[in-house]
Amino acid sequence: MTTTREGTCCAEMAMVCLTDFEEYAKEHLSKATWDYYAAGADECCTRDDNLLAYKRIRLRPRILRDVSVCDTRTTVQGTEISFPVGIAPTAFHCLAWHEGEMATARATEAVNTCYITSTYSTCSVEEIAAAAPNGYRWFQLYVYRDRKLSESIIHRVEALGYKALVLTVDVPYTGKRRNDIRNQFKLPPHLKVKNFDGVFQEAAGPAGEEYGVPANTLDPSISWKDVYWLQSLTRLPIIIKGILTKEDAELAVEHGVQGIIVSNHGGRQLDGGPATIDALSEIVDTVQGRIEVYLDGGVRTGSDVLKAVALGAKCVFIGRPAVWGLAYKGEEGLKEVLHILNDEFRLSMALSGCRNVAEINRNLIQFSKL
């Protein structure tokens, strides 16, 4: 609330749920920036299905369970976080808020959860670490044609105390995002992909620039043997992001990775793949607890979080809602998004009869309706 000189209160827009932040961001960001964050591939079927799939899942609440105290804490890779929601790697936070990823890092440190920093950050890994020295962070990695680029950033994040590497595996090529093509999306001149500042100079070449780096920088030849290559470079746990099938989940376990993020890149890569919440069960059944399974895509409410955890996700990660929080009020806005989700999650737990995260299991899900 803001108070005028006369002492009467004029209400700021009350932020009640995550879609309030979405509406604010859509209104206040430039069209090209909004379109970039909102984009899905092709007809956006997978992007939209990520959300709709949650609405098809029904819960089986238990009653009279003494839910006077509900504990939302959990662990990821052995580290305790305040609730099973972290920040997924998304690019270019400075487009939403001038402090960009430094604000994201401070918000996640304050809330005590996990922040997966994107390779495509508009602040460097060093700036992010300095902004929130006690934050719990993983680093999202792409593999480049020039392997030395990938090697050097791995050594940088390891030295800075990032706790895991998240290898994105669903981008041998960038998906076709129609509005970005129509808008000829480019980073504004005052922003750059900070982690590679000076590396590419003006090396865009004949193929031009794609999302802040020269086109064709990513290596489409990446394969399972590159997991072994990464393991030879680092002692950090390796988590694979972008798995949607039981076959690839089994291969991930066989290759000795420490975690899987069930992800379709927010519906920005292959259009027509499954919603992540629909892909989760077969992956959890295949992995059988050998490694942790996480999920991103479509999480907008506390009951979405509850459904994902009930179906076997150790933690979920939010992408677009984090950017909406930044667009609203930077660090404070993102903290608000996380607090709302945590409050909703705690309420959904209580109304379902779960006193702690360990009590959330598949008995909560009505399978006949799936």
Residue 71 falls in which region: left (phi positive, over 0), alpha (psi -120 to 50) or beta: beta
Task: Name the pLDDT band for 201 (thresholds 50, 70, 90).
Answer: low
| % of the chain residues with pLDDT over 90 | 90
Distance (Å, whole) CA 320 – CA 338: 13
Task: Name the pLDDT band for 200 (thresholds 50, 70, 90).
Answer: confident
The CA-based angle 65-66-69, given to 5 degrees, is 130
The CA-based angle 46-244-348, given to 5 degrees, is 75
Q: What is the pLDDT of residues 269-325, one digit of tens each?
A: 999 999 999 999 999 999 999 999 999 999 999 999 999 999 999 999 999 999 999
Residue 177 falls in which region: left (phi positive, over 0), alpha (psi -120 to 50) or beta: beta
Distance (Å, whole) CA 224 – CA 233: 15
Q: Which of 173-177, 212-216, 362-366 has the lowest mean pLDDT?
A: 212-216
Beta-carbon contacts of 44 under 8 Å, excluding residues fewer than 6 positions away, are 267, 271
CA-closest candidate to residue 127, choices 152, 164, 88, 100? 100
**Residue of 28, 155, 255, 265 marked catalytic:** 265
The residue-averaged pLDDT of 64-68 equals 98
The residue-averaged pLDDT of 184-212 equals 82
Which pLDDT score, from 0 to 100, does residue 209 have?
A: 84
Handedness of CA 43, 91, 94, 49 (dihedral sign): positive
Q: pTM of the full predicted structure?
A: 0.95
Q: Is 321 annotated as ligand-binding? A: no
Is the pLDDT assigned to residue 2 strictly greater than 70?
Answer: no
Q: CA distances (Å), 236 to each of 12, 149, 195, 216, 303, in order? A: 44, 18, 19, 27, 32
Which pLDDT score, from 0 to 100, does residue 294 have?
A: 99
Residue 109, SS3 per DSSP: helix
Q: Is 297 annotated as ligand-binding? A: yes
Q: Is 98 annotated as ligand-binding? A: no
Q: How many CB atoms lie within 10 A of CB 267?
A: 28
Q: Say whether 190 is catalytic.
A: no
- Which residue spans within the chain are E strands per DSSP? 2-3, 9-10, 74-76, 79-81, 85-87, 114-117, 136-141, 165-168, 209-210, 213-214, 238-243, 259-262, 292-296, 315-318
Strands 315-318, 85-87: pairing kind: parallel
Q: Is 119 annotated as ligand-binding? A: no
Q: What is the pLDDT of residues 76-120, one digit of tens each?
A: 999 999 999 999 999 999 999 999 999 999 999 999 999 999 999
Distance (Å, whole) CA 91 – CA 96: 10
Q: Which of 1-5, 254-258, 327-331 has the lowest mean pLDDT?
A: 1-5
Which pLDDT score, from 0 to 100, does residue 368 have?
A: 66
Q: Name all contacts of 19-24 with Cβ < 8 Å and 24+ positions apart.
A: 19/300, 21/321, 21/324, 21/325, 21/327, 21/328, 21/333, 21/336, 21/337, 22/320, 22/321, 22/324, 24/324, 24/327, 24/328
Burial (0-12, 13-18, 19+ Cβ within 10 Å), 328 = buried
Q: CA distances (Å), 142 to each of 114, 201, 216, 226, in order? A: 19, 19, 12, 11
Handedness of CA 154, 156, 157, 161 (dihedral sign): positive
Helix (H) and strand (E) counts in the chain: 12, 14
Distance (Å, whole) CA 171 – CA 150: 15
Q: Which of 8-12, 59-63, 144-148, 330-334 has the lowest mean pLDDT?
A: 8-12
Distance (Å, whole) CA 339 – CA 333: 10
Q: Is 320 annotated as ligand-binding? A: yes
Q: Mean pLDDT in the chain?
A: 94
